[in-house]
């Protein structure tokens, strides 16, 4: 009995990672790690590149929301945040002076 359990455990650990099915909205395994490690500063699909380096105000939020059709979430550098990936959201990261330092999708 012990041998069968040990063999089953060994077989279960040797499964290669699988890609999501074609057409799936799920990210590829490990993609969130790549996004966090080297996220572009305002990727082309996110819009808002012209806001980077500028002071933030609510009129800019409204303009970004209207232009992108996405919800705008404003965060501060170092602020804890949920890591759920939402395609309908822009993340605007502000420094301590209230200037935009990064805009990411999700």
Domain range annotation of the chain: 37-105
Which range is least confidently modeled, 7-11, 26-30, 88-92? 26-30
Average pLDDT over residues 30-58: 62
Which of 74, 78, 68, 77 has the alpha carbon at shortest distance from 91? 74
C-alpha of 105 from chain center: 6
pLDDT of residue 2: 67
Classified by CATH at the fold level, domain 37-105 comes out as Trypsin Inhibitor V; Chain A (3.30.10)
In percent, the amount of the chain with pLDDT more than 90 equals 5
What's the pTM? Answer: 0.55
How many other CB atoms are found less than 10 A from the CB of residue 51? Answer: 20
Closest alpha carbon to 92 in 68, 70, 69, 76: 76
DSSP, res 88: T
């Amino acid at each position: 009995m012990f041998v069968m359990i040990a063999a089953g455990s060994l077989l279960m650990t040797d499964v290669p990672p699988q890609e999501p099915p074609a057409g799936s909205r799920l990210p590829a395994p490990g993609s969130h790690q790549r996004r966090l490690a080297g996220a572009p500063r305002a990727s082309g699909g996110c819009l808002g590149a012209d806001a980077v380096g500028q002071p933030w105000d609510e009129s800019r939020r409204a303009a970004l929301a209207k232009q992108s059709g996405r919800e705008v979430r404003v965060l501060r550098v170092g602020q804890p945040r949920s890591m759920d990936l939402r395609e309908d959201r822009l993340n605007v990261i502000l420094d301590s002076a209230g200037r935009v330092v990064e805009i990411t999708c999700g």
